[in-house]
Amino acid sequence: MGTPGSWKPGHSGNPKGRPRTGHTMTDTLRRLLEEKTEDGLTYREAIVLKMREMALGGNLEAAKYVIDRLEGKPAQAVELSGDERRPLRIEYVVPANLCTT
């Protein structure tokens, strides 16, 4: 017998899980990008074709974006220095415009 209020193994109090709302920004964007343009392409396809066109036309930002999406961003080296016998201290700094008083 388990603790009071616990479920038996293999059972859940919410077997279907949390219901999807479909109201997130991501859900909305995905739905809208699957709509068709006047050319019969989805907006998702049109955006990809435009990025390809821009990259091939010499737009380095577009080329970088396409490569990063295909290959992933390159790993960046992080160098730490200091006394190895002491613990590393990490401070999180909040910009002043985000602080509340």
Q: Where are the domains of the chain?
A: 25-72
**pLDDT tier at 2 (50, 70, 90 boundaries)?**
low
Q: Residues 32-73: pLDDT tens digits?
A: 999 999 999 999 999 999 999 999 999 999 999 999 999 988
Report how far residue 59's alpha carbon sits from residue 86's, in angstroms, rounded to the nearest whole number. 47
Q: Considering the entire predicted model, what is its pTM? A: 0.53
Phi, psi of 4 (to 5 degrees): -55, 135
Of 41, 38, 60, give the one whose Cα is nearest residue 49.
41
Please compute Rg for the chain using Cα positions: 25
